[in-house]
Amino acid sequence: MPIAYSYIRFSSEKQAKGDSIRRQKDLASEYIERNPQLGLELDTSLQLTDEGLSAYKGVAQTKGSLGVFNRLVEDGKIERGSYLLVESLDRLSRQTPRKALAQLSALIDEGIVVVTLNDNKVYTSVSMDEDSGMSLMFAIMLMSRAHEESATKADRVSRAWRQKMLRVADGVQLTKRVPFWIVKEDRTKSIADKVAIVKKIFKLSADGLGGQRIATLLNNESVEPPTTKAAKWGISSVKKVLNSEAVLGVLNTADGVRHENYYPRVISEKLWIKTRFQGVTSKSTRDSHSVHPLSGLCVCAVCGATATRSGKSGRVRQDGTKNIWRTLVCANSMGARSACSYQSISYDKIVKAVLMALMGYQYVPPKDDIGGELWQVGEAISFLSDDIIELQDSIKVNKGSPTLRQELTAKMLEYDELKAEEARLKMLSRPFIAREVEGGLKALLNEGLLNNKCFKQVVRKIAINFNERSLIVTGHDGTMLEEKIDLSNVYA
């Protein structure tokens, strides 16, 4: 007696709440009842349901239960002659016709009979080969239409987001997903008790506390976490607050525009900058002879001469090290007939300004079409993270429900796919890949990297205008990492 496997897939939460699951189940049962001559027995051991997985990007075909079924077929654990019942071909795949056809061909070549229940069409290796190509052409036509519909929808969503981002400058609220200290319905208003938490976090960071200590302190004081879905504060939630420019009232949209005063400012610029660079000056940088990543990169923006280090020693500290006032000056300013006037700038200020440029380049969205895709993927990851937290809490309450566990597995697989897509888009969006920028940051923070080889993969030149007390950082490919930085606003 042949075994029939019913595969059900839907891609959105809206479909889950609607009639999609019941309809697809009923179609499978009705097909078996209408065709008693086939002697089909419906399998109940495999849960072939992919909830919220996309067939357009190929997630369901590889990571979902459909992927499990494909592997069982390849391993010979699904017998030849078995039936796979699906509502329509687009439930199997919405990828390009070539990829969709390859998947269908792989199944029928292994002896699986594929039945589309919306039109009672039967696909087998025999029918695909012996009807003058009619079944093949029909399948390709359906696959082309399904892919085109998905591609059109994806493009429409992308364009809608881009148009919405353009309207932010006109005062339009982009989304109701706002920082936890902002009123969801009105992004121009803040919540007083939540703002107090934000200020507390920044004050503790400015006092030298790290993310773990801040989280522990907040939890010990029973401070309400940023979301009701979280049981307590964690390092990531603390760092998310500290790294959010929303505290300055800024919204960075994926089209590369920085929107000032989008939110009400809750943290001063001075406190923000102070918390950026806790711990930048390490013990090794106290030695005036230590090698630093900025070596050989700093020049005078006026005359082009090398910016050289100078300084003097002060009193001896309690730990035995000397206090050194290190500065950079234009090399031409130290001669008898200098082309530039002698102006010195704190070396630590230069370091922190360059760090600002690198951090800005790392986090500001790219100014190209990829930004729209990055924005969408980022929003999807954010929503999915919330869903995963909810499911984990529900599993604890429902004592490890198998259904919830299966849903959680699907969500986490989708999360991994989205993170991989986000990483791919980020690599395309900037001339430097993320790990190069990260390596430059580590070198600048002196995390065991006492040479500037890694740093020079990112930075080509640091042009310092000693008279204006500003600098411009240029990447190794000629890209300006950030607009001119005013050193008077950098605190050493």
Q: What is the pLDDT of residues 434-491, one digit of tens each?
A: 555 566 666 665 544 434 555 666 788 899 999 899 999 887 666 777 668 888 877 6
- pLDDT interval class at 286 (50, 70, 90): very low
Give the separation between CA 492 and CA 489, rounded to whole angstroms. 10
What is the β-pairing status of strands 251-252 and 258-259? antiparallel
Q: What angle do CA 204, 206, 207 make, to 5 degrees?
A: 65
- In the chain, where are the structural domains located? 3-153, 171-276, 283-360+439-489, 369-429
**Which tops the pLDDT comparison, 104 or 171?**
104
**Residue 74 clears pLDDT 80, i.e. is over it:** yes
In the block, tokens 């800024």 appear at: 250
Mean pLDDT throughout 214-243?
87
Q: Which CATH number fits domain 171-276: 3.30.70.240, 3.90.1750.20, 3.20.20.100, 3.40.640.10?
A: 3.90.1750.20
Close Cβ partners of 160 (under 8 Å, ≥ 6 residues apart): none
What pLDDT, on the 0 to 100 scale, is given for residue 163?
63
- pLDDT interval class at 13 (50, 70, 90): very low
Q: Which of 23, 143, 413, 14 is nearest to 6 (CA)?
A: 23
Contact 311, 324 (CB under 8 A): yes
**Which tops the pLDDT comparison, 433 or 413?**
413
Contact 195, 181 (CB under 8 A): yes
Residue 239: strand, helix, or coil: helix
Mean pLDDT throughout 195-202?
94
In the block, tokens 């929503």 appear at: 383
**Residue 201 clears pLDDT 90, i.e. is over it:** yes
**Which tops the pLDDT comparison, 257 or 131?**
131
Mean pLDDT, all residues of the chain: 76
**Residue 253 clears pLDDT 50, i.e. is over it:** yes
Most confident of 65-69, 148-152, 423-427: 65-69
Tell me the two tokens of residue 206: 């400015």
What pLDDT, on the 0 to 100 scale, is given for residue 282?
38
What pLDDT, on the 0 to 100 scale, is given for residue 272?
87
**Residue 90 clears pLDDT 70, i.e. is over it:** yes
Give the separation between CA 295 and CA 173, rounded to whole angstroms. 45
**Residue 287 clears pLDDT 50, i.e. is over it:** no
Give the separation between CA 410 and CA 58, rounded to whole angstroms. 14
Q: What is the pLDDT of residues 299-340, one digit of tens each?
A: 999 888 888 877 655 555 555 555 556 788 888 886 655 568
Contact 85, 40 (CB under 8 A): no
- pLDDT interval class at 82 (50, 70, 90): very high
Give the separation between CA 205 and CA 266, rounded to whole angstroms. 15
Give the DSSP per-residue string, 412-452: HHHHHHHHHHHHHHHHHHSSS-HHHHHHHHHHHTTSS--SS
Q: What is the pLDDT of residues 44-69, one digit of tens each?
A: 777 777 765 544 455 555 556 787 88
Q: Which CATH superfamily is domain 3-153 in?
A: Resolvase, N-terminal catalytic domain (3.40.50.1390)
